[in-house]
Amino acid sequence: MSTKQKDAAVKTGMRFEFLKRLQDAVSERPLEAIEVDPSSLVRWSRRDLLLFGAGGVATLIVGGSQLPSEVLRRLGLDFYKNDGDNRRLLSKAVRVDDDVSAALYSEHHLVPTYAKSQITPLKNNYNGATPDPSYIPEWQLTVDGLASGLSVSVNIRTLLGSFRLHEQITRLVCVEGWSAISWWAGLRFDELLRVYPPKSDAKWARMESSVNRGPWGNPDPYYVSLDLSTARHPQTLLATHLNGKPLTVEHGAPLRLIAPVKLGLKNIKAITRITYTKDEPPDYWAKRGYSRYDGI
């Protein structure tokens, strides 16, 4: 055996030795047998059975009380018919999750951006009917709740003429679970906030689309709440272009919100009014049981 081979053998041996010692350090210790009165075993068993049984019953009651009434109805357990699905623990969980999302959020953390080759198709996910494009020529954005106390209305030409367009390829994540990578261009919300500063105590933006339609084409204004910290994020755009072309009616022409740090449902299309408020404004989907903050 050459010295080299010997060295290798020693090395392998050492490696095994190390693994063995590591295994000894974490290996199980023999269970220590204890000596007890048979009667105390009976007592312990009774106590634990009662405790775990009570815990099981409590879990069933608490868990069952949080089930949606639709599920209870199907199980034949809907003793309180149509109780409005007001479930305290579930609401608490959503609030906790919203707080966690807000704590995770940072204005300085940028979301991943992608290459043009990674762009995926984006479906028209208007909840109801897609609005008739006849609103587009007359379209104006009204901004309210400003420091000046005035209300400003601008059309798309003015917006495009007075703001620089920024481009980004980001992912839009829908609450339903699908996502799409798209190439967006638009003005930074942050720059709109600088040009038309909100009143000093404003913390929220209420964003509204008056052209939104319900499933039967009925008027169904859409509105979202957006915290101003998210509005100031460098990747939060008031988008005017998708994949290099002006927005089409399906994607919210002529101006929509693109906030990649929020779920898709916050990314309101065809914005007609932005109002800055001190208190949290109502939100279309929060009223329908979804969370309010929707940070991702």
CA 112 to chain centre: 15
Q: How far is the CB of 119 from other proteins (least distance, A)?
A: 14
Distance CA 117, CA 247 (A): 20
Residue 230 · residue 236 · CB < 8 Å = yes
Q: What are the b/e assignments for 276-294, b being 16+ CB within 10 Å?
A: bbeeebebbbbeeeebbbb
CB of 128 or CB of 246, closer to other proteins:
128
Give me the residue label for tokens 């979301």.
Answer: 111
CB of 18 or CB of 153, closer to other proteins:
18
3-state secondary structure (DSSP) of residue 135: helix
Residues 6+ apart with CB under 8 A from 108: none
Q: How far is the CB of 225 from other proteins (least distance, A)?
A: 17
How many CA atoms within 13 Å lie on the side-chain side of 40?
A: 4
Q: How far is the CB of 71 from other proteins (least distance, A)?
A: 5
Residue 176 · residue 90 · CB < 8 Å = no
Q: How far is the CB of 171 from other proteins (least distance, A)?
A: 7
Distance CA 58, CA 36 (A): 31
Q: How far is the CB of 236 from other proteins (least distance, A)?
A: 11
CB of 223 or CB of 285, closer to other proteins:
285
Tokens for 55? 């815990």
Q: How far is the CB of 32 from other proteins (least distance, A)?
A: 7
Distance CA 268, CA 255 (A): 9
CB of 176 or CB of 279, closer to other proteins:
176
Q: How far is the CB of 153 from other proteins (least distance, A)?
A: 32
Return residues touching other proteins (CB under 8 A).
Answer: 19-20, 23, 26-38, 41, 44-45, 48-49, 52, 55-56, 59-60, 63, 66-68, 70-71, 74, 85, 87, 89-94, 96-97, 101, 104-106, 109, 111-112, 171, 173-179, 260-261, 285, 288-291, 295-296
CB of 16 or CB of 132, closer to other proteins:
16
DSSP 3: H
CB of 5 or CB of 39, closer to other proteins:
39
CB of 6 or CB of 92, closer to other proteins:
92
CB of 45 or CB of 162, closer to other proteins:
45
Q: How far is the CB of 114 from other proteins (least distance, A)?
A: 10
Phi-psi category of 29—alpha, beta or left, where left has phi over 0 and alpha has psi -120 to 50? Answer: beta
How many CA atoms within 13 Å lie on the side-chain side of 206?
A: 17
Compute, in degrees rounded to 10, the torsion defined by CA atoms 184, 137, 220, 170.
Answer: 0
Residue 239 · residue 269 · CB < 8 Å = no
